Amino acid sequence: MVQADKRGGVAFRYDDNQPLAKWRAMAEVFDKYGYPMSLALIATGDNAFNAETLAFLKEEAAKGHELMDHTPAHSAFFFSCPDAQKYTNEPWVDHIRGNKVYCKYKMREDAPPSIRHITFKAKVQGNHIDLPDEVKKFYWPGSNHVIINGKAYILMGRSENEFILEDFWSEPIDMGDLGEVECQTANKSFDFYAELGALKEMARLVQEHRKKLGLPPATAWIQPGSRVAIVQADNVRDAYAEFGYVSAATYQNSAALTFCEPNPERCAYAMMWGQINLERTPSLEELKKAVADAVATHRVLIASSHIRTNAFPNGLDGYVRLHDELLKWCKEKGVMVKTQSEWARLLYFTKTDPQENVFPLLTVDLNEDGNPDGFERIEGVTCANGTFSRQGRGKLFQTLPLGGVEHGKNTLKLDIEGGKPCVNIYFWNRGRKLGMETIKGTEGFFEVPQETVTVVIELINEQEAPMTFRGGSLHQ
């Protein structure tokens, strides 16, 4: 197996079918710098793209841009098909209406403890439901479902005191006068599971459609966002891997997008975007810092966008200009920009070198803000000429969360002059601290727990004497 170095980088993902003018504008700026972008397409029908758009997609795919699968109809639970009736007897079909196939769902039983399920009684009439106050205060727009008589419905708030129901697939309903019935809350993100047969059929339809149009097969699946329930990484992997998909973006327990993550087979299908949002008019300097720190800490950022440009001065021109400036900087600094599938293969299906030093270099400051990439700014610490120095007792440095740290026994060496060093090493699995170890002195060994995703290292000077730090190494 080929070994990969653990450099981080960035991917740029753009969701939904966009006007060709927008796609062309984005392609021009990416092609200018020789970088790929990733487009998430919604399509299976013969008329999904006109001739001009199809020719564009073929041309861009040939250049290395990725055409991802955003499902046939922007949902994991339904799709449209001109001969939908042929699915009538499929065990995974709930019902068919016109050319739309509505797929069955199952209830999961592995929601995290933080997801509350409240049982209550409510009056249901037509599509209205009278929620008790205890449920109203837990209502969160866009995430709540309710189970009534064994079926799941989408719960929507029209106002503080008015709530209505849609069916599971976000279609209008009239439930008649049920009177007061027993209900239970459900969470769209954690409580539902798509039938594998349905997901596999959607994968087959997409790949068949790509072949018919002369487009490359999809290798990445992107979870659509809507009021309809969403699926988890294991659900997607179990259905899509056999069709050549190596990556997916799912919301729940999403991957940290770093090397040496535990359970890489799952992480490859949990590569959700949003580490930087390109629609909230971020400044160029904010984007540079985020990317620079990701590179230094062996992490990948997936930039998110639907190419909504209203907030930008000059609209699309301003949006493209920001990309041009950022991509120019990436090119000048040697930042790796890859498609989501390329990053999936590199992060989760490629062997790493356990001897590679993953400690951030004090001499690297890609965004030129005066602070070495991958480190927090510490008050009272002077950073100059590739060193950190402090005149007395206190913290000398703290890394940002470091990815790429091998599990098991690791060696840490720090080049320190003066003072009395105390090194604290914290082990994290996303937002959960697993534990810590302390090294007294300039070098030592420590065990990285198997569940560890990232490591944070801090250096404390325990004496009043001045201390200078010149760099370090961390490897297995």
Encode pLDDT of 138-196 as tens digits. 777 666 899 999 999 999 998 888 999 999 999 999 999 999 999 999 999 999 999 99
User: If you average pLDDT over residues 432-454, what whole number do you get?
Assistant: 97
Domain 8-78+194-348 has CATH 3.10.180.10: no
Q: Is residue 134's pLDDT more than 90?
A: no
Question: What pLDDT does residue 111 have?
Answer: 84
Q: Is residue 274's pLDDT more than 90?
A: no
Question: What pLDDT does residue 161 have?
Answer: 86
355-475 and 8-78+194-348 share a CATH fold: no
Q: Is residue 54's pLDDT more than 80?
A: yes
CA distances from 408 to 169, 445, 449 (A): 46, 10, 6
User: If you average pLDDT over residues 74-84, what whole number do you get?
Assistant: 94
CA pair distance 393, 462, nearest whole angstrom: 5
User: If you average pLDDT over residues 99-122, what whole number do you get?
Assistant: 91
User: If you average pLDDT over residues 82-93, what whole number do you get?
Assistant: 96
Question: In terms of C-beta density within 10 A (0-12 exposed, 13-18 middle, 19 or more buried), how is residue 196 classed?
Answer: middle
Average pLDDT taken over every residue of the chain: 94
CA pair distance 376, 358, nearest whole angstrom: 16
Q: Choose the weakest-confidence range: 31-45, 141-155, 259-273, 390-404.
A: 141-155
Question: What pLDDT does residue 142 have?
Answer: 63
Q: Is residue 43's pLDDT more than 90?
A: no
Q: Is residue 57's pLDDT more than 50?
A: yes
Q: Is residue 45's pLDDT more than 80?
A: no
Q: Which CATH superfamily is domain 355-475 in?
A: Galactose-binding domain-like (2.60.120.260)
Question: What pLDDT does residue 47 have?
Answer: 80
**In the chain, where the domains are located:** 8-78+194-348, 81-193, 355-475
Q: Residue 264: name the closest of 430, 400, 453 by CA.
A: 453
Neighbours of 437 (CB within 10 A): 17
The answer to whether 64 touches 337, Cβ cutoff 8 Å, is no
Q: Is residue 282's pLDDT more than 90?
A: no
Question: What pLDDT does residue 229 have?
Answer: 94
